[in-house]
């Protein structure tokens, strides 16, 4: 991993960029720009969740959309039943985190290997998709919230100021909140990775047997990381549901799961900044392809992805970092990389 | 009694479909550890090859048994030469690339042929099991599935090519040291896997809804079957198909297709939990 | 609409290109009409003719001098069969393009995803696909048919013609479940019995178990609400098992993803459906409509069915309302539409029912004969009585939800 974005200076740079975006975007772009940026942010949070568990925990999860969808549904159900949004947001994080912990216990303590883990998580997402799809009709409800089957749950109440359900956030406020949450998740993960826990986690990713012989229980560390990833994905689902006022089973779909993987791969695995950039870039591209009418949208996306893999195989952020690193004196780099085991 | 026969026939047919959709993937994943996310689109391409060539006047059997595997096999060769060979040993990049490829194929087929194409109907007609009708074409697809399993097994077991492939799979540097070019073996294996998938797509074409996005309906099941099967390509996919196909068909007949599908998936999860290395990780370890 | 200098410059640059005869349109900014349908992905086949029909309607108005002396700009996005993109582009239409009206949505899920957006930003919205009924919202007009309009006709014809023992197969989502309930109710109303009802997830491709089950139950007829190209495999496997023509099939959905073009004649012959429109309809308005689309977009356009015809009529209904109210502002246009406005379109006479904001329209029964629909029965002026049983926007104008209609069936 190139050291450019590691270290305190790099971190400060990323956060500064985030703050600038938060302040500048509302000034230069209209309401639509903000609303659109908000969904990109929600996807960036989602990409971070997988970027963390995959890039640093070495956990291949092909069904991250399961936690994303659970978060979205938990928020929608709680917001409709409780009126206010504070509990709903907490539940949107807690429910997927708990579910991830359960699933993680089942997998890690069963000592299931990588590829099989991928298949299990994918299967779980497919099951949730099938089950949610078959909940149409008024007999399927939790409290006052009807699950709605394939049609999904429309008109979900938006986030409000704590304690006052009538004070719903405006699109501008919601954009700022989303940016703050994205930066908070990013910061939290960096701190976590710089901590003892993070170092052990990376050590396990590098060599599970060696870590085990040194007295660490890989199963426990992976389980905790997986649950944290589930919670973050749930938060993303909560943001997404708020953004559109809507959640449907497509949140669990195979296409959604695959998209998350692509965010991470394109941005660069083993980084935290990469998945964020990957998510924004892909979402932007997909949006763009629907506004042109000359070529099939899938065709364009496919060509771009293929081009990227062949030309920029290590992901965008590491590639840029490597380019920049050439310019920066080697001595500084050596100093920076020895400071920490974390990547951006 | 006749009903029992009919159900039994359906179970065998369900197993055959799983074998068809997973054997090509098993060859590519089992030999090369490449997760081909465009597998569903390879099936789609095979189905399109059959449909288009039949509509252009080629005999249906020729289309299914010859045109489809050749077209998709050549396409696989092209893909291997242009994309995959740069990415060996990089599991993640191949996933990204094959995902891009799958989008590209869906988009490309849509652009070339539109979203619908006139399909071909199943030939052969029906036969009777007591008072019930069953499709003779299903008998044909069962036969093809069996032949594919047997064929791959014989090639691996009895031919020099199979021996070299197995050696390359087990220890590429050693094989290379003995004068084998691993890259050529990989290329041929990938093309072989693609051709098998193409043949499967051709066989499915008359009984499926042929459309550019049809691959999505098969891919999850194919992956679960292959990974459930474990290391041995032929025995593994065969056994996993038998297990999952039986569960799916029996539960579907007893209850509903939703529960049938969920039962299949849960069975897969439980099986992986009990046998973390797949069926052939525990049993039949020395099989192929 | 606020006119900025830039908007005026832009429109005066665009209009001479669009319309060679420069009239009063020069002076005013164009009216903006938004379209949101899937043009790629699995639903692309359904969306393409909808957009084509809308283009025809807009162009006809522009050629005749526009609306209120203003030209009409059509802004369309390809939602790529993705629900997230529906939300995203709906916001773009509402906030960036600031359109005056939106036509679109195919699945109920897509409609439910964009309905809150248009409610929030106060944009008038027309949904033009047949669906399960029950939407009750002042900001939306549903111009397609609902089960009370089509299913009843279909079931009563089928049970009278073929027999009383019915086997129902349907797609496993809201539309399928609700339609299956209506099928059950109407079957029982006609003195028939439902032997079994089966639901299939949209990605099921293997129907052999069900085909065996149907054979062992021996029903007089099958009612199908299967949806999508995966489900097309049912008709294939049905044919492969030698069952085509042995047990008749009536369907509320057959044809929506171009099944007729995908299947061979012997697999589809004899299937009966009920819709608000068929392109084979030989009325002058229908012939002119189909000719116009084929002339402009070639004969390769996918089948022009109810959604395309309803989109065309929705735009014309809206245009009538704009003319009547003299503005494109939302509330006056809604009021004009709710005055019981009607339009003579390709499907026949269409009238807005103000209580539900659905359409009173003709319904047709047709039989598949050699890959064409033979329209053999017409039921004029059918009302959306299912939605009317739960929704009255005249009495309760502030509702915005989709009711799940409680269908009374015997156990």
Band of residue A100 on the pLDDT scale cut at 50, 70, 90: very high
Q: Is the pLDDT of residue A34 over 70?
A: yes
Instruction: Report ipTM for this prediction.
Output: 0.73
Mean pLDDT computed over A235-245: 90
Q: Is the pLDDT of residue C3 over 50?
A: no
What percent of chain B is predicted at pLDDT more than 70?
A: 94
Q: Is the pLDDT of residue A337 over 70?
A: no
Torsional class of B274: left (φ above 0), alpha (ψ -120 to 50), beta (otherwise) = alpha
Same domain, C70 and C174: no
Count of domains observed in chain B? 1
For chain B, give the mean pLDDT: 83
Interface contact C85-A149, CB threshold 8 A: no
pLDDT digits (tens, 9 = 90+) for B114-127: 766 777 777 777 77
**For position A327, what pLDDT does the model report?**
67
A–B interface: beta-carbon pairs under 8 A? 120
Same domain, C178 and C231: yes
**For position C138, what pLDDT does the model report?**
87
**For position A255, what pLDDT does the model report?**
74
Q: Which of C223, C244, C273 is the last residue of a domain?
A: C273
Angle between helices A254-267 and A65-82 (to 10 degrees): 120
**For position C162, what pLDDT does the model report?**
92
Minimum-distance CB partner of A119 among B97, B102, B223: B223
Distance CA B193, CA C86 (A): 38
Distance CA C215, CA A224 (A): 53
B288 belongs to a structural domain: no
**For position A115, what pLDDT does the model report?**
66
**For position A3, what pLDDT does the model report?**
44
More confident residue, A126 or C60: C60
Q: Is the pLDDT of residue C19 over 50?
A: no
Which B-chain residues 69-108 have CB contacts (< 8 A) with chain C?
107
Token reading at A180: 């703050």
Mean pLDDT computed over B3-28: 86
Which A-chain residues 221-240 have CB contacts (< 8 A) with chain C?
none
Same domain, C40 and C156: no
Q: Is the pLDDT of residue C14 over 50?
A: no
Q: Is the pLDDT of residue C27 over 60?
A: no
Mean pLDDT computed over A270-276: 89
Chain C environment of A255 (Cβ under 8 Å): 82
Closest residue in A to C95 (Cα) is A32
**For position C221, what pLDDT does the model report?**
92
C14 belongs to a structural domain: no
Mean pLDDT computed over C330-355: 92
CB–CB of A318/A1 below 8 Å? yes
Instruction: Provide the whole-model pTM.
Output: 0.79
Pairing of strands C124-127, C140-142: parallel
Same domain, C249 and C392: no
Q: Is the pLDDT of residue A156 over 90?
A: no
pLDDT digits (tens, 9 = 90+) for C226-284: 887 788 888 888 888 888 888 999 999 888 777 888 888 888 888 999 999 999 999 99
Closest residue in C to A136 (Cα) is C174
**For position B70, what pLDDT does the model report?**
93
Q: Of the given ranges (A327-341, C106-120, C259-273, C308-322), which has the lowest mean pLDDT? A: A327-341
pLDDT digits (tens, 9 = 90+) for A180-217: 999 999 999 999 999 999 999 999 988 888 988 998 99
Closest residue in B to C258 (Cα) is B116
Same domain, C137 and C158: no
Nearest CA of chain A to the CA of B141: how many Å? 27
**For position B287, what pLDDT does the model report?**
65
Same domain, C214 and C299: no
Distance CA A306, CA B246 (A): 39
**For position B44, what pLDDT does the model report?**
92
Chain C environment of B216 (Cβ under 8 Å): 203
Q: Which of C241, C273, C305 is the last residue of a domain?
A: C273
Same domain, C175 and C260: yes
Q: Is the pLDDT of residue B213 over 80?
A: no
**For position C24, what pLDDT does the model report?**
43
C5 belongs to a structural domain: no
Q: What CATH code is carried by the domain that includes residue B65?
A: 1.10.3470
pLDDT digits (tens, 9 = 90+) for C154-178: 999 999 999 999 999 998 877 888 8
What percent of chain B is predicted at pLDDT more than 90?
A: 16
C340 belongs to a structural domain: yes
Q: Which residues contact C142 (CB under 8 A, 6 or more apart)?
A: C126, C127, C128, C131, C135, C356, C357, C358, C359, C387
**For position A4, what pLDDT does the model report?**
45
* Closest alpha carbon to C29 in C65, C58, C69, C70: C70
Nearest CA of chain C to the CA of B271: how many Å? 23
The residue among A55, A254, A306, A316 with the most chain B CBs within 10 A of its CB, best to mutate, is A306
pLDDT digits (tens, 9 = 90+) for B250-264: 887 777 777 777 787
C76 belongs to a structural domain: yes
**For position A5, what pLDDT does the model report?**
53
Count of domains observed in chain C? 2
Q: Of the given ranges (A87-96, A130-139, B58-67, C244-253), which has the lowest mean pLDDT? A: A130-139
Q: Which residue is listed with tokens 């049912």?
A: C234
**For position B253, what pLDDT does the model report?**
76
Interface contact B37, partner C, CB < 8 A = no
Which A-chain residues 44-73 have CB contacts (< 8 A) with chain C?
none
For chain A, give the mean pLDDT: 81
Q: Which of C258, C273, C288 is the last residue of a domain?
A: C273
Interface contact B112, partner A, CB < 8 A = no
Distance CA C70, CA C74 (A): 13
Same domain, C321 and C230: no
What percent of chain C is predicted at pLDDT more than 70?
A: 93
The residue among C199, C214, C229 with the most chain B CBs within 10 A of its CB, best to mutate, is C229
Same domain, C155 and C132: no
Band of residue A1 on the pLDDT scale cut at 50, 70, 90: very low
C25 belongs to a structural domain: no
For chain C, give the mean pLDDT: 85
Domain span at C92: 30-145+280-363+383-402
Q: Is the pLDDT of residue C10 over 50?
A: no
Mean pLDDT computed over C58-67: 91
Interface contact A308-B99, CB threshold 8 A: no
Mean pLDDT computed over A290-300: 69
- Specify the 3-state DSSP secondary structure of C190: coil
Interface contact B91, partner A, CB < 8 A = no
B–C interface: beta-carbon pairs under 8 A? 142
Interface contact B209, partner C, CB < 8 A = yes
CB–CB of A173/A93 below 8 Å? no
Mean pLDDT computed over C104-120: 87
Mean pLDDT computed over C128-140: 90
Residues facing C342 on adjacent strands: C351
**Using CB atoms within 10 A of its CB, is residue A119 exposed (0-12), middle (13-18) or buried (19+)?**
buried
Token reading at C317: 């209904």
Mean pLDDT computed over C181-200: 90
Minimum-distance CB partner of B252 among C209, C229, C242: C209
DSSP code for C67: B
**For position C5, what pLDDT does the model report?**
43
Distance CA B127, CA C148 (A): 40
Domain span at B111: 2-124+133-282
CB–CB of C92/A36 below 8 Å? yes
More confident residue, A256 or C305: C305
B287 belongs to a structural domain: no
pLDDT digits (tens, 9 = 90+) for A35-75: 888 999 999 999 999 999 998 988 888 889 999 999 999 99
Mean pLDDT computed over B121-139: 76
Q: Residue A177, Cβ neighbours under 10 Å: how many?
A: 17
Chain A environment of B273 (Cβ under 8 Å): 106-107, 110, 112, 120
Q: What's the distance, Cα to Cα, between the start and end of chain A in Å?
A: 9
Token reading at A87: 């509990």
Nearest CA of chain C to the CA of A331: how many Å? 47
Q: Is the pLDDT of residue B284 over 80?
A: no
Band of residue C215 on the pLDDT scale cut at 50, 70, 90: confident
Mean pLDDT computed over C75-88: 84
Mean pLDDT computed over A250-261: 82
Interface contact B100-A113, CB threshold 8 A: no
Q: Residue A135, Cβ neighbours under 10 Å: how many?
A: 18
How many residues would you count in chain B?
Answer: 288
Q: What CATH code is carried by the domain that includes residue C294?
A: 3.40.50.2300
Interface contact A136-C119, CB threshold 8 A: no
**For position A329, what pLDDT does the model report?**
54
Q: Is the pLDDT of residue B58 over 80?
A: yes
**For position C48, what pLDDT does the model report?**
87
**For position A51, what pLDDT does the model report?**
93
Interface contact A245-C199, CB threshold 8 A: no
**For position B34, what pLDDT does the model report?**
82
Same domain, C55 and C95: yes
Minimum-distance CB partner of C40 among B110, B120, B134: B110
B24 belongs to a structural domain: yes
Q: Is the pLDDT of residue A342 over 50?
A: no
Distance CA A323, CA B257 (A): 54
């Amino acid at each position: 991993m190139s050291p450019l974005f590691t270290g305190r200076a790099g971190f400060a740079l990323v956060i500064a960029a985030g703050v600038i975006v938060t302040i500048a975007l509302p000034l230069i772009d209209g309401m639509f720009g903000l609303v659109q940026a908000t969904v990109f942010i929600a996807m960036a949070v989602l990409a971070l969740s997988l970027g963390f568990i995959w890039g640093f925990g070495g956990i291949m999860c092909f069904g991250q959309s399961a936690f994303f969808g659970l978060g979205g549904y938990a928020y929608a159900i709680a917001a409709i039943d409780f009126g206010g949004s504070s509990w709903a947001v907490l539940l949107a994080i807690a429910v997927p985190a708990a579910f991830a912990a359960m699933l993680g216990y089942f997998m890690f303590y069963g000592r299931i290997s990588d590829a099989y883990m991928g298949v299990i998580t994918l299967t779980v997402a497919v099951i949730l998709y099938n089950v949610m799809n078959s909940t149409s009709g008024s007999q399927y409800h939790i409290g006052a919230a009807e699950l709605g089957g394939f049609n999904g749950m429309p008109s979900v109440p938006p986030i409000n100021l704590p304690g006052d359900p009538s004070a719903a956030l405006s699109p501008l406020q919601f954009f700022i909140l989303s940016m703050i949450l994205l930066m908070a998740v990013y910061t939290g993960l960096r701190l976590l990775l710089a901590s003892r826990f993070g170092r052990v986690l990376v050590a396990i990713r590098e060599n599970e047997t060696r870590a085990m012989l040194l007295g660490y229980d890989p199963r426990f560390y992976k389980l905790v990381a997986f649950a944290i990833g589930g919670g973050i994905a749930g938060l993303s689902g909560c943001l997404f549901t708020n953004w559109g006022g809507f959640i449907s089973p497509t949140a669990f779909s195979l296409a959604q799961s695959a998209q998350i993987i692509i965010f991470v791969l394109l941005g660069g695995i083993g980084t935290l900044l990469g998945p964020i950039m990957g998510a924004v870039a892909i979402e932007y591209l997909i949006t763009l392809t629907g506004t042109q009418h000359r070529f099939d949208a899938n065709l364009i996306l496919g060509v771009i992805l293929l081009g990227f893999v062949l030309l920029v195989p290590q992901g965008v952020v590491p590639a840029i970092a490597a380019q920049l690193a050439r310019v920066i004196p080697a001595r500084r780099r050596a100093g920076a990389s020895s400071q920490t085991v974390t990547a951006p | 009694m006749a009903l029992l026969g009919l159900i039994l026939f359906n179970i065998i047919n369900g197993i055959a479909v799983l074998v068809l959709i997973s054997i090509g993937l098993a060859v590519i994943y089992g030999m090369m550890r490449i997760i081909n996310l465009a597998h569903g689109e390879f099936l789609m391409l095979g189905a399109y090859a059959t449909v288009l060539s039949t509509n252009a006047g080629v005999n249906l059997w020729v289309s299914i048994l010859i045109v489809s595997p050749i077209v998709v096999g050549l396409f696989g060769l092209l893909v291997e030469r242009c994309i995959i060979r740069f990415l060996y040993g990089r599991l993640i990049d191949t996933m990204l690339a094959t995902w891009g490829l799958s989008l590209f194929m869906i988009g490309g087929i849509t652009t070339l042929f539109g979203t619908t194409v006139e399909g071909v109907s199943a030939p052969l007609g029906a036969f009777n099991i007591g008072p019930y009708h069953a499709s003779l074409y299903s008998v044909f697809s069962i036969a093809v599935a069996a032949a594919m399993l047997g064929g791959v097994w014989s090639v691996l077991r009895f031919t020099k090519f199979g021996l070299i492939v197995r050696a390359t799979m087990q220890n590429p540097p050693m094989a290379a040291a003995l004068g084998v070019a691993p890259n050529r073996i990989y290329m041929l294996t990938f093309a072989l896997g693609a051709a098998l998938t193409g043949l499967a797509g051709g066989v499915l074409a008359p009984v499926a809804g042929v459309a550019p996005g049809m691959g999505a309906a098969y891919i999850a099941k194919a992956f679960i079957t292959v990974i459930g099967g474990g290391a041995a390509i032929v025995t593994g996919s065969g056994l996993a198909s038998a297990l999952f196909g039986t569960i799916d068909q029996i539960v579907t007949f007893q209850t509903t297709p939703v529960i049938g599908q969920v039962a299949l998936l849960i069975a897969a999860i439980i099986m992986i939990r009990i046998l973390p290395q797949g069926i052939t990780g525990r049993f039949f370890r020395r099989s192929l | 609409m606020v006119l900025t200098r830039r908007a005026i410059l832009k429109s005066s640059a665009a209009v001479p290109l669009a319309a060679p005869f420069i009239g009063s349109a020069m002076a005013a900014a164009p009216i903006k009409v938004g379209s949101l349908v899937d043009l790629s992905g699995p639903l692309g086949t359904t969306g393409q003719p909808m957009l084509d029909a809308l283009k025809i309607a807009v162009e006809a108005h522009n050629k005749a001098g526009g609306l209120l002396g203003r030209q009409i700009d059509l802004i369309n996005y390809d939602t790529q069969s993705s629900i997230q993109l529906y939300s995203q582009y709906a916001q773009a239409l509402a906030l960036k393009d600031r359109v005056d009206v939106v036509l679109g949505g195919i699945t109920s899920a897509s409609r439910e995803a964009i309905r809150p957006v248009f409610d929030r930003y106060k944009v008038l919205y027309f949904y033009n696909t047949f669906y399960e009924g029950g939407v009750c919202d002042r900001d939306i007009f549903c111009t397609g048919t609902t089960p009370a309009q089509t299913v009843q006709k279909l079931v009563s014809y089928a049970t009278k013609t073929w027999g009383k023992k019915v086997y129902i197969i349907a797609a496993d989502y809201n539309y399928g479940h609700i339609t299956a309930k209506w099928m059950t109710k109407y079957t029982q109303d006609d003195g028939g019995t439902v032997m079994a009802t089966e639901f299939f997830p949209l990605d099921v491709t293997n129907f052999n178990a069900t085909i065996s089950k149907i054979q062992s139950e021996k029903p007089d007829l099958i009612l199908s609400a299967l949806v999508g190209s995966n489900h097309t495999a049912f008709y294939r496997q049905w044919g492969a098992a030698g069952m085509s023509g042995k047990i008749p099939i009536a369907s509320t959905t057959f044809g929506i993803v171009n099944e007729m073009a995908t299947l061979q004649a012997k697999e589809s012959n004899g299937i009966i459906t009920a819709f608000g429109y068929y392109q084979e309809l030989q009325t002058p308005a229908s012939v002119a409509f189909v000719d116009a689309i084929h002339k402009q977009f070639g004969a390769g356009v996918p089948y022009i069915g109810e959604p395309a015809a309803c989109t065309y009529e929705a735009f014309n209904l809206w245009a009538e309302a704009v003319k009547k109210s003299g503005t494109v502002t939302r509330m006056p246009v809604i009021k004009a539409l709710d005055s019981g406005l009607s339009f003579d379109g390709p499907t026949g006479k269409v009238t807005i029912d103000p209580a539900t904001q659905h359409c009173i329209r003709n319904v047709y029964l047709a039989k598949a004969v050699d890959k064409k629909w033979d329209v053999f029965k017409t039921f004029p002026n059918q009302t959306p009585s299912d939605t009317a049983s739960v929704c009255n926007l005249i009495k309760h104008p502030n509702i915005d939800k989709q009711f799940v209609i409680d269908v009374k069936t015997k156990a």
